[in-house]
Structure formats: C-alpha cells, structure tokens
Amino acid sequence: RSFYEIECTQQQWSKRQLSRQVGSCLYERLALSRNKDEVMRLAKEGQTIGKPSDIIKNPITLEFLGLKPDAVYSESKLENAIISKMQQFLLELGKGFLFEARQKRFTFDEQHFFVDLVFYNRLLQCYVLIDLKIEKLTHQDLGQMQMYVNYYDRYVKQDFEKPTIGILLCREKNDALVELTLPKDANIYASAYQLYLPNKALLQAKVKEWIEEFEENEELRKLEENE
C-alpha cells in the first residue's frame, strides 16, 4: 500500500490508472526484478530510477493490447497494437519514457537496419531501444540488439548522454542463455511479456518469501555484529 501511495502521488495516476497498476501487480513485478535489498526500498521510497536495471520489470503485462494469448499473430501486428495503445504502453514501461520512433532506420556499411521501437528516458538521460520477438529468444536476437546498442552509442548519443539501453521484449526467454551470450557489462535486458494479467496470489507469495528471507538474514547479521 505504501508503494502505491508514493507512486500515485508522484506520477499523478488517475483512479483508472491506479486500479490498472494494482491489478497488474506492478509492485510484485518490480520486486521480483530486483535483488532482495532493493525490494525493501520499493515500499519505503517507491520506484527510484538511478540505473538501467531500475526500469526493468518481469513480466511486462500487455493485456490492454487486446491480443488473445492463444492467438497467432506476427511481430508487425504486435508492434501495431503497441503503437495504437501507446499511452497505456508508456504507463506500463514506467517513469521517464518518451516515444521517439518506430522502425527507426540506420545505415551501416551500405546495409539498412531497423529498430522496432525507440524511446528516450529523461531520468536516465539515454536512448532505450526495444526489439519485439514473438518466439523464444535466441542468441542471434541478443547479438543483433548488441549491434543496435553499439551503433547508437557510437553514432547517435551525445557526449552528455548515458549509454544506450537495449530491451528484447519476447514471449519466452532463457536467463542462462542471456547470461552466457552477453558480456557482464552489457546494457541489454531480456523481458518476457504476457497478454493477460498475472496471477496476483503467486507473485505475492514469491515476494513474501523474498522479504522473509531478507529479514532472517538481517537478524543474523545483527546477531553476528553483537557477538
């Protein structure tokens, strides 16, 4: 409740927007995308944006697009649905996002490349590139996004801006594959999306488990310090 009170005040959500964020389990999805120490900060400070990982949530919930989870659709149809619901998509992405372009073309070595969606985050002062994937994420997808990010860092961003962030929005991802493919300092993230509201009870149980583990570790740490 404390988290939603802070966010509602800071972002001036309407009643409908607040209801949607609660229904989509925003707190739980943010909490499960962070380490245990940062989970406690969410309730006390709301969502603070200071580093690239602060804008990531898993999963990203796109129930407002109107696409049925079991329906067959293409990446272009998913992109068109997002463009037609851009206001809701920006709300789902979170704080500080500004939309710049779709299918942004750049040319390198006489070849044309297209980034699905280009955003700018004014809080982080950097470009955020989003590539849409309707199938399971592959290492080729990750390599392609790495190339997009490298191009923007070298030829688009200005000196005062922070490094470009790449987000692969995919139906299914393998965290081990992502970790193995990307270097440790890569500014690239894979986020799964779903076309339905999440199971609130399941997410709440996971967060509760994390908090209890955090509190137990804190108690042990204090006991060790007193010894």
d(CA 141, CA 29): 24
CB 102 within 8 A of CB 116: yes
pTM: 0.83
For the cut 90, the answer to whether the pLDDT of residue 70 exceeds it is no
- Tens of pLDDT, residue by residue over 3-54, are 999 999 998 999 999 999 999 999 888 888 877 677 778 878 888 898 998 9
Rounding to the nearest 10 degrees, give the CA dihedral for residues 51, 53, 54, 55.
110
For the cut 90, the answer to whether the pLDDT of residue 150 exceeds it is yes
What is the predicted pLDDT for the residue at 64?
Answer: 94
Q: Per-residue pLDDT averaged across 141-165, rounded? A: 96
What is the predicted pLDDT for the residue at 33?
Answer: 81
- Tens of pLDDT, residue by residue over 115-138, are 999 999 999 999 999 999 998 899
Measured CA to CA in angstroms, residue 21 lies from 7, 95, 172, 217 at distances of 10, 13, 23, 30
Q: Which CATH code for domain 52-196?
A: 3.40.1350.10
What is the predicted pLDDT for the residue at 183?
Answer: 85
Tokens representing 37 are 């120490």
CB 120 within 8 A of CB 93: no
Backbone phi, then psi, for 20, in 5-degree steps? -70, -40
What is the predicted pLDDT for the residue at 214?
Answer: 74
| 37-41, 77-81, 159-163: least confident range | 37-41
What is the predicted pLDDT for the residue at 144?
Answer: 95
Residues of the chain with CATH 3.40.1350.10: 52-196
CA 73, distance to chain mean position in Å, is 22
For the cut 90, the answer to whether the pLDDT of residue 152 exceeds it is yes
Measured CA to CA in angstroms, residue 136 lies from 2, 28, 61, 132, 159 at distances of 36, 24, 17, 11, 36
Q: Please name the residues in contact with 30: beta carbons below 8 A apart, sequence gap of 6 or more.
A: 42, 47, 57
For 170-182, b where at least 16 C-beta lie within 10 A, e where not — what string? bbebeeebbeebb
Q: What mean pLDDT, rounded, does the chain reach?
A: 90
For the cut 90, the answer to whether the pLDDT of residue 220 exceeds it is no
